Amino acid sequence: MENESTVRPSRMTRQQVLTLMSMASVNFSSMICYSILGPFFPNEAIKKGASQTTVGLIFGCYAVCNLIGSLVLGKYIVQIGAKFMLVAGLFVSSGCTIMFGLLDRAPAGPAFITLCFIVRSVDAVGFAAAMTSSFALTAKIFPNNVATVLGSLEIFTGLGLILGPPVGGWFYQSFGYEVPFMLLGCFLLVMVPFNIYILPSIDSFFRLLTHFKIVLICYAIFTLSAGLGFLDATLSLFAIEKFKLTPGYVGLIMLGLSLPYCLASPLMGYFTDKYPATRRWFMVMGGIITALGFCLLGPAPFLHIPSQLWLLVLMLGLIGFSLGMTAIPTFPEIITCAYQNGFEEGLSTLGMVSGLFGAVWSMGMFYGPIVGGLITQHLILVNQLNITIARTLLIPEEFSC
Nearest residue to 61 (alpha-carbon basis) of 348, 347, 307, 362: 362
* 317 pLDDT above the threshold of 80: yes
pLDDT given for residue 5 in this prediction: 41
Q: How many CB atoms lie within 10 A of CB 12?
A: 16
pLDDT given for residue 46 in this prediction: 87
Nearest residue to 114 (alpha-carbon basis) of 208, 48, 202: 48
Least confident of 84-88, 331-335, 388-392: 388-392
* Highest mean predicted confidence (pLDDT) among 21-25, 220-224, 305-309: 220-224
Residue 40 pLDDT grade (very low, low, confident, very high; cuts 50, 70, 90)? confident
Backbone CA torsion sign across 351, 140, 184, 42: positive
What is the distance between the alpha carbons of residues 165 and 34, in angstroms, rounded to a whole number? 9
Residue type, 195: N
Residue 396 pLDDT grade (very low, low, confident, very high; cuts 50, 70, 90)? low
What confidence tens digit (pLDDT) does each residue in 288-308 have?
998 998 888 878 778 888 888
Residues 6+ apart with CB under 8 A from 11: none
Average confidence (pLDDT) over 364-372: 86
pLDDT given for residue 202 in this prediction: 57
Q: What percent of the chain has pLDDT over 70?
A: 93
pLDDT given for residue 222 in this prediction: 92
- Is the Cβ–Cβ distance between 116 and 8 less than 8 Å? no
Average confidence (pLDDT) over 385-399: 66
Q: How many CB atoms lie within 10 A of CB 243?
A: 14
What confidence tens digit (pLDDT) does each residue in 228-259 have?
888 877 888 788 888 888 878 888 888 888 88
Domains of the chain: 14-393 (1.20.1250.20)
- Is the Cβ–Cβ distance between 340 and 267 less than 8 Å? no
pLDDT given for residue 394 in this prediction: 58
* 4 pLDDT above the threshold of 80: no
What confidence tens digit (pLDDT) does each residue in 150-165 have?
888 888 888 887 888 8
What confidence tens digit (pLDDT) does each residue in 166-210 have?
888 888 888 888 888 888 888 888 888 888 877 766 545 667 788
Residue type, 345: E
What is the distance between the alpha carbons of residues 13 and 291, in angstroms, rounded to a whole number? 41
Least confident of 129-143, 195-209, 352-366: 195-209
Nearest residue to 48 (alpha-carbon basis) of 118, 120, 112: 112
* 22 pLDDT above the threshold of 60: yes
pTM: 0.63
What confidence tens digit (pLDDT) does each residue in 259-273 have?
888 888 888 888 888
* 374 pLDDT above the threshold of 80: yes
